[in-house]
């Protein structure tokens, strides 16, 4: 059995989509969803989906081994950041080399780095009149959005697209590609 651990800080629509994708797969399980927000919508979704949601405190994340211990205990095949907003401590990266991946809602290296998350990214894409945007799935290293790229997918942006339209297009790409990339990494 392959075990995935997901990290999420917000709505968790990617978590739900990934869970649905693997729901009929008896060889892959979502062992847990870890979140740093005790009121995040992702917790509600996990309850509906029957997935364990574990909350951890941001301070403890950086100053203790609480999350490392949970992960060592689960021994996941892949750790997936799906809308997770905190920087991953170096200790975690070192303990799980090439096992932590992230999805970024733009075509890195454009629109990456600190502060570039959620609507900030789509607003910047709109402000710069970009003609395309997309998603980047990449390995996580010690720096924000800088690990090796695994997959990018693009979507056109038209002058009439609002930032909500852009966000919608990007989410569609995420739903389409993220579970498949996870699947191939698990079985690659």
Query: Active-site positions?
Result: 104
Cβ neighbors of 158 (< 8 A, separation 6 or more) are none
Task: Tell me if 147 contacts ligand GRF by CB under 6 A.
Answer: no
Cα-based angle 33, 23, 78 (whole degrees, multiple of 5): 45
Q: 11 or 95, CB closer to ligand GRF? A: 11
Residue 68 backbone dihedrals phi, psi, to 5 degrees:
-60, -45
Task: Tell me if 10 contacts ligand GRF by CB under 6 A.
Answer: yes
- What ranges in the chain are assigned the alpha helix state H? 13-21, 41-49, 58-63, 66-74, 90-95, 118-127, 163-187
Task: Tell me if 125 contacts ligand GRF by CB under 6 A.
Answer: no
Of the candidate residues 12, 112, 147, 179, the single one contacting ligand GRF (CB under 6 A): 12
Q: How far is the CB of 35 from ligand GRF (least distance, A)?
A: 10
Cα(56)–Cα(79) distance, rounded to whole angstroms? Answer: 16
Task: Tell me if 145 contacts ligand GRF by CB under 6 A.
Answer: no
Q: 161 or 174, CB closer to ligand GRF? A: 174
Cβ neighbors of 119 (< 8 A, separation 6 or more) are 163, 167
Q: 92 or 140, CB closer to ligand GRF? A: 140
| Interface positions with ligand GRF (CB under 6 A) | 8, 10-14, 82-83, 103-105, 117-118, 170-171, 174
């Amino acid at each position: 059995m392959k075990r995935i651990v997901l990290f999420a800080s917000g709505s968790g629509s990617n978590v739900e989509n990934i869970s649905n994708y693997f729901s009929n797969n008896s060889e892959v399980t979502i062992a847990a969803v870890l979140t740093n927000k005790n009121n995040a919508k992702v917790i509600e979704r996990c309850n509906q989906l029957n997935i364990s949601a574990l909350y951890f405190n941001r301070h403890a994340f950086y100053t203790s081994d609480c999350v490392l211990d949970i992960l060592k205990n689960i021994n996941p095949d892949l750790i997936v950041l799906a809308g997770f907003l905190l920087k991953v401590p170096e200790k975690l990266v070192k303990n799980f080399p090439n096992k932590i991946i992230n999805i970024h809602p733009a075509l890195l290296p454009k629109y990456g780095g600190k502060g570039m998350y959620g609507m900030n990214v789509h607003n910047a894409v709109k402000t710069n009149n970009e003609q395309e945007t997309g998603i980047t799935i990449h390995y996580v290293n010690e720096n924000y959005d800088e690990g090796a790229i695994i997959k990018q997918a693009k979507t056109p942006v038209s002058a009439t697209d609002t930032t909500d339209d852009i966000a919608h297009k990007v989410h569609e790409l995420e739903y389409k590609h993220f579970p498949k990339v996870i699947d191939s990494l698990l079985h690659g």
